[in-house]
Structure 1
């Protein structure tokens, strides 16, 4: 997440889809297909493993933590950080999962792809939410990056044996 996104957390929150807007069972099922457990934290409580702080999702090993006000793009982003990691590295993750630029790019690419598996989300809405939240790509928008500049991220995902790329 960019500094702009972190700043957005301290001021006006953009209108983005949140966990409460998507059937929780669909979120759980998507993560379970990748060996992850989704945990709902009560509203107002701290989110374990949240790098950016509430309402951003948190990660600890194979666990993803969210509240109702956690943006769906945040849940997917943090989950995808875990998905792109080999199991031995995933087990060591607590709060900060990124180890390299290519892992970060692969995470962004995969979260867009997996958004199509969530009812009422889809990649177009997720990319719009990422832009609204402040993700920053050199081509100016998430869509431009995904469509024109993410081949290295797709190649990394294929090397990891991940589907849909």
Structure 2
């Protein structure tokens, strides 16, 4: 795998439908245009309110990570988000686990690809990889997601809006 999976590599409508299940919208940004609400700039996804912004060259893992930030927030807190969703370590940890689960729910993507692309992008974890983190060091994040009604006891993603 030499290049991370991008929005252009998957069906935009599938990604938009997945985000819609959580009360979010996905806004396509023209190729080469600045991405509104992008914390990292360049081709990375952006967030403003209930909307995730992405271009064709935006990595899918970035789109799912930023969507995850909005998903973990109650709808009333989402409205105030612009570019930077949180400074909460527990929320950030939960989002890192959640983006893999969202990958499983997105046709043509899958958790394994999301975790590999996280590593390729440069995420760092104590155990050396995103997979090692999710499988062996993320108990608090899994518990956080379950306590907030985003996953089942069996660690399956609950594909519903968070109210």
TM-score by length of 1: 0.89
Residues 1:115 and 2:74 aligned together: no
Structure 2 partner of 1:28: 16
User: Structure 2: which 5+ runs fail to align?
Assistant: 158-163
TM-score by length of 2: 0.91
Deviations 1:111-163 (A, max 9, x none): 01110111221011111100000001111000000000111101111111113
State the 1:99 CA deviation: 2.5
Structure 1 runs, 4 residues or longer, greater than 2 Å off: none
Comparing 72-81 with 96-105, greater Cα deviation is found at 96-105
State the 1:68 CA deviation: 0.2
Distance 2:47 2:79 in 1: 11
User: Structure 1: which 5+ runs fail to align?
Assistant: 1-13
Distance 2:68 2:136 in 1: 21
Give SS of 1:47's match: coil
Match of 1:102 among 78, 83, 90: 90
Give SS of 1:39's match: strand
Residues 1:89 and 2:111 aligned together: no
Structure 2 partner of 1:128: 116
State the 1:23 CA deviation: 0.4
Give SS of 1:99's match: coil
State the 1:43 CA deviation: 0.2
1:16-165 to 2 correspondences below 5 Å: 16-163=4-151, 164=156
Counting matched residue pairs gives 152
Distance 1:45 1:122 in 2: 28
Distance 1:104 1:73 in 2: 14
Structure 1 partner of 2:161: none
State the 1:51 CA deviation: 0.5
